[in-house]
Amino acid sequence: MSLSEARGRLPGEPVAIVDIGSNSVRLVAYEALTRSPTPTFNEKVLCGLGKGVATTGFLTDESVAKALAALQRFKVLCRTMRIEDISAVATAAVRDAANGPQFLELAELAIGCKIELLDGQREAQLSALGVLSSIHEPDGVVGDLGGGSLELIDIRNGKVGRGVTLPLGGLSLMDVSERSPKKAVRIVRDALSKAKPLDNLSGRTFYAVGGTWRALARLHMRQRQYPLNVMHNYVIPSRDALEFAKLVERIEADALLSIEFVSAARRPLLAYGAVVLEEIIRRAAPKEIVMSALGVREGMLYQRLSQAERDADPLLVAAREFNILRSRAPAHGEELFAWTSLLMKSSHLEETKEEERLRHAACLLSDVGWRAHPDYRGEQSLNLIANAAVIGIDHPGRAYLALAASYRHLSADQDVGPHLRSLVPARLLDRSRVLGAAMRVAYIISAAMPGILPRAPMICQKGKVVLTLPSDLAPLNSDRLQNRMKQFARLIGGDPEIKATPASAGVPPESRYAEAE
């Protein structure tokens, strides 16, 4: 039996990307080539290939030896995971070093596949595609900060502009500034003054890609005691980011709060990453900094998809995959979405397209915690969804999905996820409680099985919440169902009513939901 046929796996063969960067060499394996790729293995080795390249023009023997050893290890790991689809790329340090071609020959032998040497323009485009693939409707400039270079590229309306590459990576800056962040400021300011992608960034978003900026963001999260330990789509307002960058530049790395969460090898680069971020904010005045955990590697995968696959919503793709892997009956999730759509359209609760999109995902994810003990299903669902490897969603939306799934198991008046509630606007918080209460009604009549909800609509009608059961389902009317109806009706303002009628029994699902469209 192949891995793709094993229980608990999605169809498709696993793929791997090997990224030979100026600071780290990394292997990421993904479950399959999909619109929402899930990493199954992720390992990096900080080799420092870019150390000294800016001043000497050569890769050092020590860094080359570390990189080749890492690549040999990655080759064995890929063989162990039975991954045959392996892509490898190398970036600034290798393309800038005089002995880069010799290193590439040895590296290809070590990893066992062809390595693509990316030029700056190609690296910028792939990084932008990674952001485009993983952040819903991005609009701003992507900045990918590596050890050797900084790539900047505009992104808007689903289109990627022309990028620029600048020698402002952490290792390069450390070398050319002679380990002086103050000297680095002048170098960075001069280089950024000519960077055209920054000309139209004012009031828009700067998408930060790269390990050094992720390390800075992790420190910022710890400083705030941020309630969600998810880096992707973490937002820092520009004013706050500017002050934090100045703090990092001023203080010795080891004196920073929560510095233990940053590897010792990366700590010396923090000040230089902070310098670049501060000067970008001063030069271009973005509205906010958004961290992207996805970049070049995911851009490579996205580029391989068909246009139809690229056009798919990554959040809904991921939610459907979770639904397939974890729900009792995957078809029930889509029926639940149609059932709640009919309910929402009959109510006074107006819904934006984004709110509808989130509700769709919430319905698909509503049964993922069912294997837990009944007393802990709400907590299990909350934690599983809040920390899931899903993309195409911001942190308030992620918290909404987690809360809705938790309220589906717990009544709306319980103290659910207090740490996450702080991330959700009042309107979305209310919608999570309403949806959770509606799902509590749906699940008690359907037992999470398909074929029931299309025959048992619940709608708002003349100040009432009316649930109609066909005659063969009439025995489902019980004190427990009535109590859940009351809980839901109380949230939206109305009186509950359960009707039994033989007429609805023969109405096929398609026609019933067609009325809701």
How far apart are the C-alpha atoms of 388 and 367, rounded to whole Å?
14
Q: Do domains 3-117 and 121-298 have the same CATH topology?
A: yes
CATH of region 121-298: 3.30.420.150
Looking at residue 511, what is its pLDDT? 39
Burial (CB < 10 A; 0-12, 13-18, 19+), residue 292, is: buried
Looking at residue 277, what is its pLDDT? 98
Domain coordinates in residue numbering, the chain: 3-117, 121-298, 314-514
Looking at residue 2, what is its pLDDT? 39
The backbone torsions φ and ψ at residue 321, rounded to the nearest 5 degrees and listed phi first, read -65, -45
Looking at residue 257, what is its pLDDT? 63
- At the topology level, CATH places domain 314-514 in Hypothetical protein af1432 (1.10.3210)
Looking at residue 408, what is its pLDDT? 95
The residue assigned the tokens 């402002």 is 168
Vertex 103 angle, CA 101 and 106, to 5°: 115
How far apart are the C-alpha atoms of 362 and 436, rounded to whole Å?
9
Are 71 and 56 within 8 A, CB to CB? no
How far apart are the C-alpha atoms of 14 and 29, rounded to whole Å?
7
Return the amino acid letter for 117.
Answer: L
Q: Which long-range contacts (CB under 8 A, 24 or more apart) does 304-310 make?
A: 304/33, 305/33, 305/35, 309/34, 309/35, 310/35, 310/133
- At the topology level, CATH places domain 3-117 in Nucleotidyltransferase; domain 5 (3.30.420)
pLDDT in tens, the chain (517 residues): 333 334 456 778 999 999 999 999 999 999 999 999 999 999 999 999 999 999 999 999 999 999 999 999 999 999 999 999 999 999 999 999 999 999 999 999 999 999 999 999 999 999 999 999 999 999 999 999 999 999 999 999 999 999 999 999 999 999 999 999 999 999 999 999 999 999 999 999 999 999 999 999 999 999 899 999 999 999 999 999 999 999 998 887 777 767 777 777 788 899 999 999 999 999 999 999 999 999 999 999 999 999 999 999 999 999 999 999 999 999 999 999 999 999 999 999 999 999 999 999 999 999 999 999 999 999 999 999 999 999 999 999 999 999 999 999 987 777 888 899 999 999 999 999 999 999 999 999 999 999 999 999 999 999 999 999 999 999 999 999 999 999 999 999 889 999 987 644 444 444 344 333 3
Vertex 420 angle, CA 417 and 423, to 5°: 150
Neighbours of 413 (CB within 10 A): 12
Are 121 and 165 within 8 A, CB to CB? yes
Looking at residue 515, what is its pLDDT? 36
Looking at residue 239, what is its pLDDT? 97
